[in-house]
Chain A
């Protein structure tokens, strides 16, 4: 019962924060609401007995990714508040239509997977300790793990090149 209450609380806060990210006009507030959403999801991961993933979520998303976002928001000059109106013609009805279509597809796919799942309808308590996760990660998924390292290295090199080779801020365009 206690777990159910925790789930409802964190799910509602996560949903509210996500809606806030989309609805908020100020980019800075959107970024801060995104942190709230990430933290609520980390709490839900703990409820699912995925402790290591929850800690990684806090460190990677609520830490590193959000610092990147906030620095970019604060360092870019110019307006941070989106002006209402001035949209593409027909953007809002088209967005509503596409969102409804996506919702239908999601309902179909996720509902289908849940029906196919059948009996074990409750998350197991047995899986989820860090030792077991490390054993799977470093044996069966070792090549994916190594490839992730290479990907991060390439991303860092690409970012450094991209930001060094552009025109200087004071230079004429």
Chain B
């Protein structure tokens, strides 16, 4: 007996929600980036679930593209965090308030 599609889709929605909550409540910029990764993975899970339900490979190809974009995003994001730390000495998003009036 195989797993119904709505199981995967429900799991994907829950993971996306947890990631979004993390982005909203956490203040460490590294953890915020990790939560964005959680959300991307949740989207990947939904893409694969719907793709296999439609018996189509387009979902899997899209997931591969998302993975490449996520890898590039992590590299650039971490470089930005290191640069931020060099300039401000902070990894807490509330301490970076240079543009605050």
Q: Taking beta carbons and an 8 Å cutoff, which residues of A are in contact with B?
A: 1, 3-4, 7, 11, 14-15, 18-19, 21-22, 27, 30-31, 34, 37-38, 41, 44-45, 47-50, 52-53, 56-57, 60-61, 64-65, 68-69, 72-73, 75-76, 78, 82, 86-88, 91-92, 94-95, 98-99, 102-103, 106-107, 110, 113-114, 117, 120-128, 132-133, 136-137, 141, 144, 148, 151-152, 154-156, 158-159, 162-163, 166-167, 169, 173
A86 cross-chain contacts in B, Cβ below 8 A: 94
Asked if B61 is at the interface (CB within 8 A of a chain A CB), the reply is: yes
Interface pair B13/A61, CB less than 8 Å apart: no
Residue of A nearest to B58 (CB): A136
B96 cross-chain contacts in A, Cβ below 8 A: none
Known contacts A15-B15, A69-B74, A110 near B9 by CB under 8 Å: yes
Known contacts A30-B31, A48-B49, A162 near B83 by CB under 8 Å: yes
Interface pair B13/A110, CB less than 8 Å apart: yes
A123 cross-chain contacts in B, Cβ below 8 A: 2-3, 5, 8, 49, 52-53
Interface pair B57/A60, CB less than 8 Å apart: no
Interface pair B72/A151, CB less than 8 Å apart: yes
Residue of B nearest to A71 (CB): B78
Interface pair B30/A27, CB less than 8 Å apart: yes
Interface pair A57/B67, CB less than 8 Å apart: yes
B86 cross-chain contacts in A, Cβ below 8 A: 166-167, 169
A115 to chain B, nearest CB (A): 10
B68 to chain A, nearest CB (A): 4
A110 cross-chain contacts in B, Cβ below 8 A: 9-10, 12-13, 46
Residue of A nearest to B12 (CB): A110
B78 to chain A, nearest CB (A): 5
B49 to chain A, nearest CB (A): 7
Q: How many residues of B contact A (CB 8 A)?
A: 78
Residue of B nearest to A88 (CB): B94
Within 8 A of A (CB), among B7-33: 7-22, 24-28, 30-31, 33
5 residue pairs A–B, Cβ–Cβ below 8 Å: A4-B2, A14-B11, A21-B31, A91-B24, A98-B20
Interface pair A106/B34, CB less than 8 Å apart: no
Interface pair B67/A120, CB less than 8 Å apart: no
B20 to chain A, nearest CB (A): 5
In the complex, the 4 A-B pairs of residues with the closest C-beta atoms, listed nearest first = A155-B72, A123-B52, A22-B22, A95-B24
Interface pair A41/B41, CB less than 8 Å apart: yes
Interface pair A106/B72, CB less than 8 Å apart: no
Interface pair B5/A121, CB less than 8 Å apart: yes
